[in-house]
Structure 1
Amino acid sequence: MSKTNDKFEKGRLRSSNITVVISISLVLFLLGVFGLIVINAQSYAEHLKRELKIEAYFNDVDDPKIKDKELSMQKEYIDSLKIKYDFIESTRYISKEEASKIAKQDLGIDDVELFEANIFPPSVQITLNPKKINSVEQIDSINTKLAEHPLIDKVKSDKQAMVKIYNSINTITFWLMIFAIIFLVIVIVLINNSIRLKIYAKRFSIKTMQLVGARRRFIMKPFLLEGAFLGFLAAVIAITGLGILWYFLATKIGLLLWNPDFGMLIGALIALGVLIALFSTLFAAWRYLKLKTDQLY
């Protein structure tokens, strides 16, 4: 009879552990999908920021004494930009000849005579570091700094496009954060309920250990270790599922298989799975330790 009861208890315990792992895995998987959306939205926002170029046009040098040094002076200025300003990611020098070719393409004109005098000034096209720039006001400040140099005639940037993009990025980021907080609360509640059901199945074992004189720390330790392991196992299963999903999507759509931020997401999912399982186990077990024997039924 006792063997039958032991088998029944072990089967129920095994079923409870499987339920907890599956519940946590599903919740972490959904949270991971949300994380992938956030990461890729951020990557796309950075891509849009890189497309917003600033172009600084050089002055024409009239002094014949330094005319032959004009090109070297411009190149020295361009080389100094990335050293002086950390918000500049890359620079590209556009000569008068190249500027004329670009103008022909933009205007759709193929008349050589209109461009033979190279009427367009040389310039430097600047790509900003998206991680350093978070507002249009910063770009205005950068334009002012660049325009103060004696070699620069004027600085241009598409401010209207910048305003629209930054407003869109701020709106998307705000709502993503709101949904992330709501979803995180739901995640914690679901995982906590799963753990509480598991501990509920062991409430009599907890009370029995307590009645024979076991300390609370001694009683709690195996539950916490088991909870941490189950949380870690669930996180590994969720991450494996996310990896398979992302590989399928990336190969179909043509996205990069690895993003540096994926490492942070993996670490966050593992930490979240273990921590929530630990705290849920702690609170659930502590509750049953405080109950009287007649309250267990």
Structure 2
Amino acid sequence: ANIMVKQTQYVSKELAARNLQKDLGEDFVKFLGYNPLSKSLDVYLKADYTNNAGIEKFKAQLLKNPMVKEVKYQQSLVDQMNQNLASISLVILAFAGIFIVVSVALINNTIRLAIYSQRFLIKSMQLVGATKSFIRKPFIAYGIWHGLLGGLIAIIILMGTLYFAQTQIPDLVVLQSYTEFGLVFLIVIGIGVLISAVSTFLAVNKFLRLKIYDLYR
């Protein structure tokens, strides 16, 4: 096994003919009277090696095999693809940053409004002798629950988007990495819980510090 290779797929002459017929929309085998295509092996490299340097390294390894006569690939296409991916990644990163800022602001404001409606309850508990940590606990637990729920909803939407993308671009299945997906899902849930917990903590603390007459402002 080669550490650069993610997956390989053997393509017989018959399968190659069917695929080409599907692309052309015509039965060229019937027209020619024979199948001119050869057997082949589709090689899918890992993402870290899908650049000219990685492909050249893999090509050099293949050429060491006496059974391999020649290895060709479209270098210009690889360059263009990597440039496009880099540009798209920057755009996506910029939008993601904007969405994160907006999301944090919305979540924080929503939690602050929810805690604001409970400000008299918070102060009443404090006046009867409840400690600050005792008062915070139910609010933070409630915030964590909502953060967890929001993270799960985000994951469901993300999975639906990925499924739709795979139906449109079947080759995306080959690029899947379940380890990375799992990491992304954990990060999404973790961020949701963290934002909710921190926002709740800060909002409750604000009203714990206020004087009674400030609650009416």
TM-score bracket for this pair, using the shorter chain length: 0.5 to 0.7
Name the structure 1 match of 2:148: 232
**2:201 equivalent to 1:285:** no
State the SS of the aligned residue for 2:129: coil
Give the CA RMSD over aligned residues. Answer: 4.1
**2:25 equivalent to 1:86:** no
- CA apart distance, 1:231: 3.1
Q: Work out the CA distance in 1 between the residues paired with 2:50 and 2:95.
A: 22
Sequence identity of aligned pairs in percent?
A: 29
**2:91 equivalent to 1:175:** yes
Q: Identify if the C-alpha distance between structure 1 residues 140 and 274 changes in structure 2 by more than 3 Å, giving closer, same or farther.
A: same
**2:213 equivalent to 1:294:** yes
State the SS of the aligned residue for 1:153: coil
- CA apart distance, 1:146: 2.0
Paired positions, count:
192
Q: Work out the CA distance in 1 between the residues paired with 2:121 and 2:106.
A: 24
Q: Normalized against structure 1, the TM-score is what?
A: 0.52
**2:111 equivalent to 1:195:** yes
Deviations 1:243-280 (A, max 9, x none): 9x949x94xx7678x98577666555544433322111
Q: Which moved more, 1:271-280 or 1:217-226?
A: 271-280
1:1-297 matched pairs, under 5 angstroms: 83=1, 85-88=2-5, 89-90=7-8, 92=10, 125-235=41-151, 242=157, 246=160, 250=164, 267-296=186-215, 297=217
Q: Work out the CA distance in 1 between the residues paired with 2:54 and 2:82.
A: 12
- CA apart distance, 1:184: 1.1
State the SS of the aligned residue for 2:69: strand
Q: Which moved more, 1:156-165 or 1:86-95?
A: 86-95
Which structure is higher in RCO with an 8 Å CA cutoff and minimum separation 6? 1
**What residue ranges of structure 2 are gaps of 5+ in the alignment?**
21-26
Q: Which moved more, 1:174-183 or 1:277-286?
A: 174-183
Q: Identify if the C-alpha distance between structure 1 residues 263 and 225 changes in structure 2 by more than 3 Å, giving closer, same or farther.
A: same
Name the structure 2 match of 1:78: none
Answer whether contact 1:192 1:277 (CA < 8 A) is retained: yes
Q: Work out the CA distance in 1 between the residues paired with 2:108 and 2:138.
A: 18
- CA apart distance, 1:220: 0.6
State the SS of the aligned residue for 2:3: coil
Q: Which has the larger radius of gyration?
A: 1
- CA apart distance, 1:282: 0.5
State the SS of the aligned residue for 1:157: coil
Q: Work out the CA distance in 1 between the residues paired with 2:168 and 2:61.
A: 39
